C-alpha cells in the first residue's frame, strides 16, 4: 500500500509524463539519478540515517524524532551553498544524538528510596568522646561552685 507521499509523487510524475515535461532530458542525469530537490535528498538518506541514529541512541522512537529534527535543520539551512549536504546532515544528526544522550544521562539520576540507618552516616560523636565531654562538664561545674557567689552569678545567668 502506498503512503500519501508516495501517491502524491506518483501523481506528479504521471502529470509530468503526460505534459511532456519529463526529467529525462539531456544534461539532467544528476536530477534523474538523485530525485528532485530536498524530497529526493530525504528519500535517499532517511533510512540510513534512521538506522545510524537507532544504533547510537538504542531507541527507534527517539531515532525517528532525531531523524526528523536533523532533516528539518538541514532544510532550514540548505540553500544550495552547502558543499556536502549529506555530511552536514550526518554531523547534525550525530550532534543531536549526543545532546540527547547527555540529557538522558543527567535525567537518569534516581532518588534515594532504599535508605536504612546503617547506610546513612551517624553524625553523633563516638561514645568515648561523649564520656570525655561529660567528665569535662562536671569539672567545669565543680570549678564554678568553688568561685565566690558574685563571680559564680556571672556564669549561671
Cell output for 152: 559564680
Task: Quote the pLDDT of residue 64.
Answer: 94
pTM over 0.85: no
Helices 127-145 and 149-156 meet at what angle, rounded to 10?
A: 140
Give the torsion sign (CA, 79, 84, 88, 93).
Answer: positive
pLDDT tens profile 75-86: 888 777 888 899
CA torsion angle for 129, 130, 135, 137 (degrees, to 10)? Answer: 110
Domain 34-105 CATH assignment equals 1.10.1740: yes
pLDDT tens column, 85-138: 999 999 999 999 999 998 887 766 666 566 565 556 667 888 888 889 999 989
Among 42, 45, 62, 40, which Cα is nearest to 53's? 62
Q: Cell numbers of 99, please?
A: 545532546
Q: What is the mean pLDDT of residues 6-13?
A: 53
Give 140's pLDDT tier (boundaries 50, 70, 90).
confident
For position 5, what pLDDT does the model report? 53
CA quadruple 133, 138, 142, 147: dihedral sign: positive
pLDDT digits (tens, 9 = 90+) for 31-74: 433 456 888 888 999 999 999 999 999 889 999 999 999 999 99
- At 149 the pLDDT is 85
* Domain residue extents for the chain: 34-105, 129-156
List, for residues 10-30, the tens digit of each pLDDT value: 555 545 544 544 443 333 334
Q: How much is the pLDDT for 97?
A: 94
CB 101 within 8 A of CB 57: yes
Amino acid at each position: 500500500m502506498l503512503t500519501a507521499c508516495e501517491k502524491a509523487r506518483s501523481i506528479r510524475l504521471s502529470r509530468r509524463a503526460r505534459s511532456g515535461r519529463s526529467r529525462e532530458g539531456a544534461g539532467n542525469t544528476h536530477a534523474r539519478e538523485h530525485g528532485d530537490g530536498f524530497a529526493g535528498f530525504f528519500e535517499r538518506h532517511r533510512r540510513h540515517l534512521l538506522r545510524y541514529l537507532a544504533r547510537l541512541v538504542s531507541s527507534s522512537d527517539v531515532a525517528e524524532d532525531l531523524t526528523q529534527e536533523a532533516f528539518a535543520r538541514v532544510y532550514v539551512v540548505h540553500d544550495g551553498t552547502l558543499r556536502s549536504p549529506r555530511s552536514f546532515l550526518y554531523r547534525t544528526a550525530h550532534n543531536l544524538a549526543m545532546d540527547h544522550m547527555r540529557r538522558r544521562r543527567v535525567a537518569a539520576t534516581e532518588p534515594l528510596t532504599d535508605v536504612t540507618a546503617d547506610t546513612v552516616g551517624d553524625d553523633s560523636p563516638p561514645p568515648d568522646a561523649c564520656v570525655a565531654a561529660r567528665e569535662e562538664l562536671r569539672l567545669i561545674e565543680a570549678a564554678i561552685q568553688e568561685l565566690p557567689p558574685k563571680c559564680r552569678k556571672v556564669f549561671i545567668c
